[in-house]
A and B are shown apart, each in its own frame.
Chain A
Amino acid sequence: MKKIINNVEDIVPEMISGLVRTNSDLLKEIEGTTAVVRNDKLFSEHKQVGIVSGGGSGHEPLHAGFVGDGMLSAAVAGEVFTSPTPDQIYEAICAVDQGLGVLLIVKNYSGDIMNFDMAKEMAEADDIKIATVVVDDDISVKNSEFTQGKRGVAGTALVEKIIGAAARLGESLDELVKLGKSVVDNTKTIGIALHAATVPAVGHPGFELKDDEIEYGIGIHNERGYSVEKIQPAKELAHELIEKIIKEFDDKSGKFAVLINGMGGTPLMEQYIFANNVLDELESKNIDVEFSKVGNLVTSLDMQGISLTIMKANDDWIDKLKEPVVTIGW
């Protein structure tokens, strides 16, 4: 394992410290935690529902990279691939509550759900109005009858963008919950890996793939997917992933948003090639893509791979996705 780190146990605090010190006009650390909160002038001047997200580290720029005007109010970083603890989430909630309540955006992983639930209970004891939107966009796992339920993966970035824009416009906590649920229901993602990530504390890749193999349906914490297949040209990958996602939508008319997301170890060159093929394929199916974005938004350390997110959107959501924000990562 080769990594630019010091001690494994210092990875998260040192990362947060570096992030905040290089972006001090945007972010500040919440003392005694590995959570960050907006530090821009508008933050205290503009009253809105606070938006807090978080999760394990190793997915950067998610979530701290999305903190800023028009997106998240605060983000809480856990250990690598491990959800943050409730006391830290609680501190973030307290730091952003302006009396209008706080919305938590949580990815559907058991650890995240439980820690955010405990933080919610702590905040409720302080009479803070609080609600949760759970993101479960990954279509590669079965529903909750058989598993923990679908995972929250790259679609989380789009959900945070839309909710953040709505919160800035002054929508109430109840309205944001309703919006969030609807956005999540219309967001579908699937990912592939060419090479697994190496968690620093473990020291070797999470699973092995031969040189000509790829894994379909991986999760963002190195979870193995549903099948190993031979690598194919980008356009065939695009075709296969689109086929899988598009059948999840009953109605293929109207407007769509697309996110091509790098998993951390995939060059942008390959991401743009894949994006080109994705747009071709969607065009050939007469699917109207009104918003598209390419980049490393929800990564999995150094995993080589890519995920495709397709969202059935309306004009309002497309506008919200296009609105400018001031963040490190969007």
Chain B
Amino acid sequence: MKLELEQSQKWVELFVQKLETNKAYLNELDTAIGDGDHGTNMDRGAKAITESLSKKTPNTVSDLYKAVAFAMIQKVGGASGPLYGTAFLDMSKAVKTENIELSDLIQVGSDGIKRRGESDVKMKTMIDVWQPIADDLKSNKLDKANVDTALNSTKDMVATKGRASYLEEKSKGHLDPGSQSSAYLFESLVDVLGDN
């Protein structure tokens, strides 16, 4: 399965909507184990994406992902900016040379996040959503239940990366905010793929 330009645009559009709608909830999740601004930061990124795309309509999937990457890198800050930014920048480069399979595309994004954050699965970061979703896509079984499962798996993890790691055991029992925003990204993808 490959994602064409129109579908990719819809995907980004739905993601932006979900970030704007759930700004307060993301802040609330981040207040528990971070500093309470993940929603504010992602909303700033969402608005930057909209502004960028309204100024210049991308002609290729690669251009679209690059615009998303630049908006995130330049406007989000914190850890989320470079992480989402690197994921989309790497995805932009990957689709430039060939129109790769969707599962490979998400794997490229996941690998980018791992590289930038020097992180891996089970550290209670957004990787705990990205990597399972990449795996699910490889076996063609992505739906919202999978996204939920991946997101909820972060609840009982002890964070060993990022600011939540300072809480050690106390980070248990809370959803990871970056995993929640990533879940919005992949719920949007499920919506685009028409598999509710």
Contact = CB atoms under 8 A, between A and B. Distances in A.
Interface of A: 9, 56, 78-87, 109-111, 114-115, 117-118, 141-142, 146-148, 151, 199, 201-202, 206, 219, 221-224
B52 to A, nearest CB: 14
Q: Which of B36, B75, B168 has the most CB of A within 10 A?
A: B36
Contacts of B173: none
B83 interface: yes
Nearest to A221: B35
A interface, over-half SS: loop
A148 B37 contact: no
Given A115-B78, A148-B161, 6 more contacts: A86-B74, A115-B81, A141-B166, A146-B168, A148-B160, A206-B35
9 contacts: A110-B79, A110-B162, A118-B86, A142-B168, A148-B163, A199-B35, A206-B31, A219-B166, A221-B163
Range of interface residues on chain B?
Answer: 20 to 34
Interface of B: 27, 31, 35-37, 40-41, 44, 73-83, 85-86, 116-117, 159-163, 165-168, 170
A222 B168 contact: no
Contacts, number: 106
A114 B82 contact: yes
B167 A202 contact: no
Nearest to B23: A201
A146 B167 CA distance: 10
A85 B77 contact: yes
Contacts of A117: 82, 116
A148 B166 contact: yes
Contacts of A83: 77-79
A223 B78 contact: no
